[in-house]
Amino acid sequence: MKAIACELPARLGLPLSRLHVPDIRAEVIRRGLVASISDTTIWRWLNEDAIKPWTHRSWIFPRDPDFEPKAARVLDLYAGEWDGHPLKSDEFVISADEKTSIQARIRCHRTIAATARHPMLVEHEYERGGALQYLAAWDVHRARLFGRCEPKTGIEPFGRLVDQVMTAEPYRSARCVFWVLDNGSSHRGKAAVRRLVEVYPHLVPVHLPVHASWLNQVEIYFSILERKALSPADAASLEELAARILVFQVRYEVLAQPFEWKFTSADLTKLLERLAIRGSGRLAKAA
């Protein structure tokens, strides 16, 4: 029964995307494994091994041939190392990215605060008040935060964020400032590296491999921002929305501490080895 629960429905000849307990029960009976069985019994047996085929989780298998060395450089920076040497006191690590298309939603009826009888009530319908882009840079080891709202993303808006950071102390006079970046169009490739280094020779762009946003620490802050200030994203105008974002940024930085990042380059190696074994096993089974 557990083996059936761990199969894809298509391999069982079923026109389903996921298996639920009644589907497993019907398949077990159809195969003659038991004459009858209750849904409760099946659920209890599956629960013993935490098997939940009715749930699913999206994932992306690493496709960059240099995924490990690129990601390992970033993880070593988080751990305070570069090329096998500890970072010096005047070397800093910045994690930066854009949070795009944040909408100002003008509710058709005002939002009603929570009471003892009901939660906060938010009108479903709204008028679109436009959208803005929020660019942010997070100092990984010092919990310092920089950000700005722009009407659109691109090379020039990102350049303004870089200027905002690199003209402030201690980054202006630092020995080296490492910028952890994804492969967004405003800061990817050799042209972007050349453009940044020409203005700030002590800036070192460190690009993540493709599909590795989960290794960019600023994404953690974006998640906090989304939960605390943008859900729901009620705002009478883009100006009001931008003000809320920037005031939250100040509020967060006052209380912020560096994230307790525990995933190391050694952990990455183990994970990729495990994925390789899992992937080769699935390929062999499919063959």
What is the Cβ-side half-sphere exposure of residue 150, based on CA atoms within 13 angstroms? 19
Total length of the chain? 287
**pLDDT tens sequence across 216-249:** 999 999 999 999 999 887 888 999 999 999 999 9
Domains and CATH numbers, the chain: 2-48 (no CATH), 67-265 (3.30.420.10)
pLDDT over threshold 60, residue 279: no
**pLDDT tens sequence across 167-182:** 999 999 999 999 999 9
Cα–Cα dist 285/287, whole Å? 5
Q: Give this prediction's pTM.
A: 0.83
| Average of per-residue pLDDT across 10-31 | 94
pLDDT score at 238: 93
**pLDDT tens sequence across 75-125:** 999 999 999 999 999 999 999 999 999 998 888 888 888 888 889 888 788
DSSP H stretches of helix in 124-264: 155-166, 189-199, 218-229, 238-255
pLDDT score at 107: 83
